A = this chain, B = another copy of it.
Amino acid sequence: MAKRSETSRRSILDATLRLLSADDMTVQKLSIEAIAREAGVGKTTIYRWWPSKAAVVVDAFMENHLLHTPVQTDVSVRSALESHLRSLIGQYAGPPGRLVSQLIAEIQYDPRTRQTFLERFFYGRYYAIIELVQRGIDNGELAADLDAEVVSEMIYAPVYQHLLFGHRPLRPELATSLVDQAFALAGAGPARDAQGQARVSAA
C-alpha cells in the first residue's frame, strides 16, 4: 500500500528549480544527490519515481515554468503567427531559454525523456502552428498549394537554431522577419492583408 507522497514530489520539483535558478548551474552540473539534499528527501525517493535526472528536470519545468505562448484566433493568421513567435522568442531570450536548450541537450542522451519532452513540450506548439498555417492556407492568406507542416517548420525551426547554436542573439525582430519572409512580403506591414487579397484575386 502506502501511497506516493505528494509532499516529497513537490519538494523535489521545487528544489530542482531552486538549484537550477542559480546563475552558474546547469542541468549537466545538477546532481540527483544535490536535489535530494536540497529537498530534504532520500535519493531513493527520486529514483523510485523518475528514471533520470533529465526526467525530473522536465517535470519540474513543466509544472512551474509553463511557457505562455498563446495562439490568438481573433486576428489574421499572420498576426497570430507573429505574436506567437514574438512571445516564444521573448521567453527563450531569458532564463527559460537556457533551460530549454539544456533540456534539448539532455534528450540527445535519454530516449525516454525525449519522448516525454516531445509530448509535454513540443507537440502542443508544433501542431498549433501547423493548424494556424493551415488556416492561413484555407482562408487565402497563404497560397493554396503549400504544405502546412513544412511551412510551419520553416517558420519555427530558426528560433531553435538561434537558441541552440547561438550564432546570433535571439531578438524579437526575428519573429517579424520570419513571418515576413513566409508571406513573401518583406517588411510590408499591415497593408499586407489587402495586398494578400489583391494577390489572391490577381492569381
Contacts and interface: CB of A to CB of B under 8 A. Distances in A.
A192 B186 contact: no
A118 B167 contact: yes
A155 interface: yes
Contacts of A192: 143, 184, 196, 199-200, 203
Q: Helix, strand, loop or mixed for chain A's interface?
A: helix
A167 B126 contact: yes
B182 A185 contact: yes
Contact of A194 (B147, B174, B186, B203): B203
A184 B118 CA distance: 29
Nearest to A202: B193
Copy number in the complex reads: 4
A194 B185 CA distance: 15
Interface stretch (A5-13, A87-95, A106-114): A106-114
Contact of A191 (B108, B145, B154, B161): B145
Given A160-B160, A192-B143, A151 B203 contact: no
Contact of A105 (B109, B157, B190): B109
Contact of A154 (B118, B145, B158): B158
Nearest to A195: B203
Contact of A147 (B109, B153, B177, B183): B177
Nearest to A109: B28
Given A101-B108, A109-B105, A155-B154, A203 B189 contact: yes
6 contacts: A114-B165, A147-B180, A150-B177, A189-B199, A190-B203, A192-B199
Nearest first, the 10 closest Cβ-Cβ pairs linking A and B are A189-B203, A157-B157, A105-B105, A157-B161, A198-B203, A154-B154, A153-B158, A105-B108, A157-B158, A193-B203
